[in-house]
Structure 1
Amino acid sequence: MKNDKDLKNLVKERYARIANQEKSQNAASCCGATTPTNKVYNIMMDDYSETSGYVEDADLGLGCGLPTHFASIKKGDTVIDLGSGAGNDCFVARHETGPEGKVIGIDFTPAMIQKARLNAEKLAFNNVEFREGDIDDMPVNDEVADVVVSNCVLNLVPDKEKVIGEIFRVLKAGGHFSISDIVLVGDLPQALKEDAEMYAGCVAGAIQKEAYLEQIEKSGFQNITVQKEKSISIPEDILGKYLLPEEVTAFNQGGTGIYSITVYADKPGNSEKKQKIEISAIQATSCQEGSGCC
């Protein structure tokens, strides 16, 4: 496999091309990167069509979950979406924050940034912005976000520890994230591990589920919860590009699991301070003249 710089360039080149593909082509492959399968179903993506705030033009079929569905976004929140693509999760998040909130999408592919900005302009969403940059070195100040979301992106970054550290940095104390990603249980065949197309397709870059969750805990997060988990099956016509027929059979029977998981975690905050704020808010709404509370 290539070094970290080469892998980033590979992903940037592939996703620039994906930005101009049809959604149906992306959804029929592994994160849009591999040759489409002849089986008529989506390999990884979940259906957004019934989700409030969904914008079809911004959905390129590249996700592996519905992180915004589980993210507990509140009115007025500031939300950061990592690997924002054409803006799909940003626009769903914007529906939850309302016009009083703010959503920042970060993506390192210029073609994706351009597409997302055009979508936001068409929708007249003035509180959604897209910044070009790496998610392992975010163009965002410390403690900006109430919520961080991401959909099938961390597996594309070579240094996942650094990304998780960046998430911790940009979250406010007491903030949280909800991230959908691809993880493994068991080892992939070497031919899949070393293939650039399978890396861009969200498979070869995935790490073990246990290591993924351990890294989140190691970075200082708490209340780590797997909100959703689903098994991902790679169709045989894709596997056949990399493995002999007997190797495909062995892989399918070998117990290796490829999973989409949606993970939630909190950044520790000052619970005593939050409790005082909540009490003050209750007093402010219930205070009446002459009651002695104001």
Structure 2
Amino acid sequence: MTDNTSTPEPDDGGLTATEQHTTVRERYSEIATGTRADTDTSCCSDTESCCETTAGLPHELGYTEADLDAVADGANLNLGCGNPTAIASLDAGDTILDLGSGGGFDCFLAAREVGPTGRVIGVDMTPEMVEKARENVAKNDAANVEFRLGEIEHLPVADASVDVILSNCVINLSPEKPQVFREAYRVLKPGGRLAVSDVVRTAELPGDRWEHLQADPTSVASCIGGAVTVSALEAMLTDAGFTDVSIVPKTEDSEFINEWDDERDLSEYFAAARIEAEKPASEPDQKQENTE
């Protein structure tokens, strides 16, 4: 694999994992508390957070009017790049985990799908986001939803306890993506599934533009600086143990990416993508046999 998918070291001019986490946490703290000055602007440019949308964009990302009406105000912070619940095929009674749950919008949509016998867990590393999401539980009368503070690289979730993992434009923010997928694999039940909406890099930017974006804290904390290629994500998922990996860039549905940068059309280099994978049903049985 030739992609630079690891966290840049300081002597490479990039950010350390600690610096990336701090930058992302601070940015989303401001969004959660309403103290960020640019939260009503376009998505994911060098000066915006991922993925702050304009009015009407949720429909472009795959949400229906019924989805938007189903969740009380305050949960939809317009921070996504797709609708992972639409590709997840959730069943009644499922246990769902949302990586980087934000205000809880996708969690509350998932809760409607899994019903009262199901369970939804949202994990977010920003305390202010978790507090906001917990306040939204009461607003949505969602007794089967809970939110936990934690990093997606170190999930506060038990082994083999989750049926489906969702995530919406968050994994690209992690400086340790292979670790995220290893953790996802750990917490999924045998036969469990991953259904993610995220941003991928589809082409190399000209000149030193890409190196600049990787080293810029604002870009790293948005949808741009941390995006990797489809082949890199496929390798990470396979290395973590996943099978039936499918990553489909939605270039025709990524017109909003045109607004990310005033200097050039970034839809030539980035796209929203649908990412799916499965944990083999037989793997845990093999591990159990080895421990007996």
Root mean square deviation, CA, Å: 3.1
Question: Does the 8 Å CA contact 1:33/1:200 hold for their aligned counterparts?
Answer: no
Q: What are the superposed Cα offsets for residues 135-189 of structure 1, whole Å, 9 maximum, x if unpaired?
A: 0000011001000000000000000000000000000001101001111022231
Taking structure 1 as reference, are residues 170 and 45 closer, same or farther at Cα in structure 2, changes over 3 Å only?
farther
TM-score scaled to structure 2, two decimals?
0.79
Q: Are residues 1:48 and 2:60 paired?
A: no
Report how many residues are paired: 260
Could you say what secondary structure the match of 1:124 adopts? coil
Q: Distance in 1 between matches of 2:141 and 2:58?
A: 33
Q: What are the superposed Cα offsets for residues 47-103 of structure 1, whole Å, 9 maximum, x if unpaired?
A: 534244444421000000111111011000000000000000100100100011000
Larger Cα-atom Rg: 1
- If asked which structure has higher relative contact order (CA below 8 Å, sep 6+), I would say 2
Could you say what secondary structure the match of 1:80 adopts? strand
Q: Are residues 1:217 and 2:238 paired?
A: yes
2:10 maps to what in 1?
A: none
2:289 maps to what in 1?
A: none
Where in structure 1 do 4 or more consecutive aligned residues deviate above 6 Å? none
1:67 to 81, 84, 109: 84
Q: Are residues 1:85 and 2:93 paired?
A: no
Question: Does the 8 Å CA contact 1:184/1:256 hold for their aligned counterparts?
Answer: no
- Offset of residue 209 of structure 1: 1.7
1:99 maps to what in 2?
A: 116
Could you say what secondary structure the match of 2:225 adopts? coil
Q: Are residues 1:109 and 2:126 paired?
A: yes
Could you say what secondary structure the match of 1:19 adopts? helix
Could you say what secondary structure the match of 2:22 adopts? helix
2:229 maps to what in 1?
A: 208
1:139-150 paired onto structure 2 within 5 Å: 139-150=156-167
Taking structure 1 as reference, are residues 142 and 42 closer, same or farther at Cα in structure 2, changes over 3 Å only?
same
1:1-294 paired onto structure 2 within 5 Å: 1-21=14-34, 26=39, 28-31=41-44, 34-35=47-48, 42=57, 46=61, 48-52=63-67, 53-188=70-205, 189=209, 190-226=211-247, 229-230=250-251, 231=254, 234-235=257-258, 239-240=261-262, 248=263, 252=265, 256-270=268-282
Question: Does the 8 Å CA contact 2:81/2:168 hold for their aligned counterparts?
Answer: yes
Unaligned runs of 5+ in 1: 241-247, 274-294
Taking structure 1 as reference, are residues 44 and 26 closer, same or farther at Cα in structure 2, changes over 3 Å only?
farther
Question: Does the 8 Å CA contact 2:108/2:140 hold for their aligned counterparts?
Answer: no
Question: Does the 8 Å CA contact 2:194/2:277 hold for their aligned counterparts?
Answer: yes
- Offset of residue 34 of structure 1: 2.6
- Offset of residue 193 of structure 1: 2.6
Q: Which moved more, 1:101-110 or 1:194-203?
A: 194-203
1:288 maps to what in 2?
A: none
Taking structure 1 as reference, are residues 33 and 142 closer, same or farther at Cα in structure 2, changes over 3 Å only?
farther
